[in-house]
Amino acid sequence: MTTTGALSPRPLNGTVVELLQRCGSGDSSALMRLYDIVSPLVYRLSLMVLGEESKAQASTGRTFAIVWESAPRYDLATDGTALPWLLSIAHRQARSELG
């Protein structure tokens, strides 16, 4: 049985790679699209770490600011798969806000 409209991880990661590359070139519309696609995952991760909706929302926003700043340096060969790379930034950001 398949779920209509669901993206499998492989195409999603390819989309994230493409959008990160565009962000690295200064394409702000790519950042907005990346946010639309990935922010629900980032928010849920942040909420699990922080346990408070308002803090998770703020952490999600800061995560995407970091992603925007880091995108020009993102390299698939050295940084690894795009989605885990982005989620590791989100996790580190949320953990930094615990203390």
Each residue's pLDDT tens digit, 30-43: 999 999 999 999 99
The verdict on residue 5 lying in a domain is no
pTM: 0.84
The CATH number linked to 71 is 1.10.1740.10
Return left, alpha or beta for 26; rule: phi > 0 is left, psi -120 to 50 is alpha, else beta: left
The verdict on residue 6 lying in a domain is no
The verdict on residue 15 lying in a domain is yes
The verdict on residue 1 lying in a domain is no
**Domain region containing 67:** 11-96
Please report, rounded to a whole number, the percentage of residues in the chain having pLDDT higher than 70: 87
The verdict on residue 2 lying in a domain is no
The verdict on residue 4 lying in a domain is no
Tokens of 19: 């959008």
Write out 53-78 in H/E/C secondary structure: HHHHHHHHHHHHHHHHHHHHHCCHHH
Give the H or E element holding residue 25.
Answer: none
Domains: count for the chain: 1
The verdict on residue 54 lying in a domain is yes
Structural contact between residues 94 and 86, judged by C-beta atoms closer than 8 angstroms: no
Each residue's pLDDT tens digit, 82-95: 899 999 999 999 99
